[in-house]
Chain A
Amino acid sequence: MIMDIKEKETAGSSIYVPEIATILKIEEMSQTEKLFDIRLDDQKKQEKFCFLPGQFVELTIFGLGEAPFSIPSSPGNRDFFQLCIRDTGNVSGAIHRMKAGDKIGIRGPFGKGYFPYERMKGKDVIIVAGGLGLAPVMSLIKTILEDRDSYKRLVIIYGATDPSNILFRKDIEDWKKRDDIELGLTVDNPDSAWQENVGVCTNLIPGINCTEDAYAVVCGPPVMYKFVVSEFEKKCIKPENIFLSLERRMECGVGKCNHCHVGNKLSCVDGPVFSLWEIRNLKEAI
C-alpha cells in the first residue's frame, strides 16, 4: 500500500537510534573549538563506518539533544573519526565540557552530496575555507594528500577572524613545508606577529592561476559564498565544477524533519555538498 517501501531486514528498529561511541581524545584547537577523536563502541560497526569527504554525522549528547557535524578526518582512517566542534549551542557546549572516555551517540554518516574527489583527479583543485568552514573540507584535503600524484595543483585558501582562531594548526604547518600545496592564509584582525595576508579570503582568489577545467570548493560562514563564487566565476571555472557545502538547521539528518531546505533541495539528503549549477537558481541558497 505504501509506495517506495524497501523491506528492512530488522524489525522494530528506528532510524533515530544512535550508536554508542566513546570520546578517545580531545585536542583544544582554539579558545572556542576542540577536536574530538571518536570511536563507535561496536567494533564491527566502527570497521564498517566509512564516509565520503563532506558527509556529516548527527551527534547525540544523551539527555540533552542532537546536532549535525561534518567529519574533518580522513575517510581512510577506520580506527576512529574526528569532529571539530565550536562551543556555540546546547549540544556543542555540552561536548566541550566532556572528557576522554565519555560516551556519546552517533547516527550517520549522512548526506548524498559529497566532494567528488574522484572527478577532481587530473585537475587543479582550489579550496577556499573561512573559519570553521575548514572542518568540512579537511576530509577532502586529506583525501587528496593521500593520493597527491593523481591531482594537479592544490590551492588552499584559509581565512580566520584573527590568528588565534586558526584551526588545524599542525596540518597547516605541514602544508607550509610542502612544495605541492599553494597555501594562502589571511586574517581580518592581525596581531603583531602575523606575517601572512590581511583581509577576506576573496582577495586571494584573483592571484590564483588555474585552468578553466579546475575544480573549486568553498565552505564557510553564510555571508562568504556569494563573494567567493563570483571570484571563481571570474576565473571561468564552470558552475558544475564549483562545490559548496551548505549547512542549515537540521533536526533529523535523514530527510524527514524538513528544516534544512535550500530551495527545493534538502541539505541533509541532497547535500550538504552541492554544485553551484544545482543551486544557482535556488534563491535562498547563497
Chain B
Amino acid sequence: MLYKVLEKNGYRDFVKSLISGFEFIGPVKKDRAVHDFKVIKDFKELDTAYIRTTIPPAKKILFPPDEELVCYEIGENIDVKPVVESGEKILFAINAWDINGMNFLDRVFTTDFIDDNYKAKRDKLIVIGMDTEPAETNFSPSVGAEFATGGFDLYMHDIGDRYFIRVATARGDGLLKRYAVVKDAERNDFKEYDRYMDNYRGRFKLDVDIKSFYDDFEVIYDKKEFWENAAKDCYSCGSCNLVCPTCFCFNVKDDMELNLKKGEKTREWDSCMIPDYGLVAGGHNFRPTKENRLKQRYRCKLKTFKEKYDRYACVGCGRCIEACLANINIAEDINSVKKEVSA
C-alpha cells in the first residue's frame, strides 16, 4: 500500500482524463433518493455524493443478471466454446462496503474452482473507491465491512482540501502517475486522515449485536414460533436477494436459436427466497416453507461463510431492509435472536 495526496483542484482534471481514456462507470443521480452506476461520458453526470444505489454496482458489472457462459454450434460435430468477456473498465466511487461485497464474491468465484467468466471481468476492472454517507439502515461496522483493506486499485478519502489516496496496486499507481499530480502523504496528512476516519466511523448509527449469532442461531433454529413470526409477512419475492451485494445464487440454463443449430449456456440470478429454489426433479422440495427459506438466507449470510472464509456474507449495507415489501429486517432479526437466547 502506498499513500498519496491529491489536491482538490487537481481532482476534476484527473477524473476527466479517466473518463476520456477508459470505459468509466460511476454513480449518476437517478431520482431524489437513488443513484445508479452507469457508463459516464461527461464529468457533469458524475455525482459521488450518493447514499443509496439499488443494485450494487459490482454485481451488475462482474456478475450480470443474465450472462452467457458457453456457446455451441450443432452440426455434424458439436463445437463448444467458452464465452469469457472482459474489457478494461474503471469503476469509480464505489464505497467500502460494496468493495467488501465484491471481495466476498471474489472468494466465492475463485474457491475450489475458478470461475473464469467472473475472474476475467474482475481482473480487468479498475476499482477506485470513495467513502459515502451511510444510510440509516446501514450496519457495516457490525459486520466489519465499513472499511476496505483491499480489492481496489485506489481509494480516495476526502479529507477536506485534498484527497488522501490509498494506492493498493501498481495499476492504480500507474493511473496516478499518468493522469494526476500527487505527492507522497506526510505525517500531517495521516493525522488528518486519522481524524477523518474517526468521524466517518462515527456516522454509522445502527448497531447490530451479531457476535454470538453463530452459536445462538442453532438454539433458535427449531423454535417454530420465532421463525413463523419473522417470516409471516414474507412474499417470497426475492427482492432482498436482488439488491444484495453478496448474493450470488444463479441458475444455469441452455437455450437454442430457432434454427436449432446454435445454442448457449447462460446463468441468471436466482433467489433462495423463491419457493422453487430447493425443488428437485420428481417434485421433492428441500425448503418448502418461507420459514425454511428465511432461515437458510440468514444461515448463508451470517454463518456459512463465517465458517468457510471467516467473514460474513453480509456487508451491512441495509439494501435488503429498504427493499423488503414486508418490512423484514435482518438487523432487527439478528438482535432478536440475541435477545431470545439471552432472555
A interface, CB within 8 angstroms of B: 1-6, 8, 12-18, 20, 60-67, 86, 88-92, 103, 105, 221-222, 247-249, 251-252, 254-259, 261, 263-264, 269, 281, 283-284
Contact = CB atoms under 8 A, between A and B. Distances in A.
B254 A67 contact: no
Contacts of A18: 70, 80
Interface stretch (B5-13, B51-59, B137-145, B245-253): B245-253
B248 A17 contact: no
Interface in B283-298: 284, 286-287, 292, 296
A5 B110 contact: yes
Interface string B65-106: 000011010100110111110000000000000000001001
Contact of B284 (A13, A222, A255, A264): A222
A88 B284 CA distance: 11
Given A249-B278, A263-B299, A63 B255 contact: yes
Contacts of B81: 17
B116 A258 contact: no
10 contacts: A3-B103, A4-B107, A4-B110, A5-B114, A15-B115, A62-B256, A105-B80, A257-B251, A257-B270, A259-B277
B113 A1 contact: no
Interface string B266-288: 01001010000111111010110
Majority DSSP secondary structure for residues of A touching B: loop
Contact of A261 (B70, B74, B114, B296): B296
Contacts of B113: 15, 254-256, 269
A112 to B, nearest CB: 8
Interface stretch (B174-182, B193-201, B300-308): B300-308
Given A1-B123, A258-B249, A261-B300, 11 more contacts: A1-B153, A62-B254, A63-B256, A63-B263, A221-B284, A251-B270, A256-B109, A256-B248, A263-B304, A264-B304, A284-B292
A256 B253 contact: no
Contacts of A3: 103, 106-107, 110
Contacts of B82: 12-14, 16-17
Given A2-B122, A16-B82, A251-B251, A66 B265 contact: yes
Contacts of B109: 256
Contacts of B286: 222, 248-249, 284
A211 B301 CA distance: 42
Nearest to B110: A4
B218 A281 contact: yes
B29 interface: no
A252 B252 contact: yes
Nearest to A15: B113
Contacts of A89: 280-282
A14 B117 contact: yes
Contacts of A67: 281
B169 interface: yes
Nearest to A58: B252
Contact of A14 (B84, B282, B284, B292): B84
B238 interface: no
Contacts of A258: 248-250, 272, 300
A246 to B, nearest CB: 10
A15 B69 CA distance: 9
B249 A259 contact: yes
Given A20-B78, A63-B255, A257-B250, A15 B106 contact: no
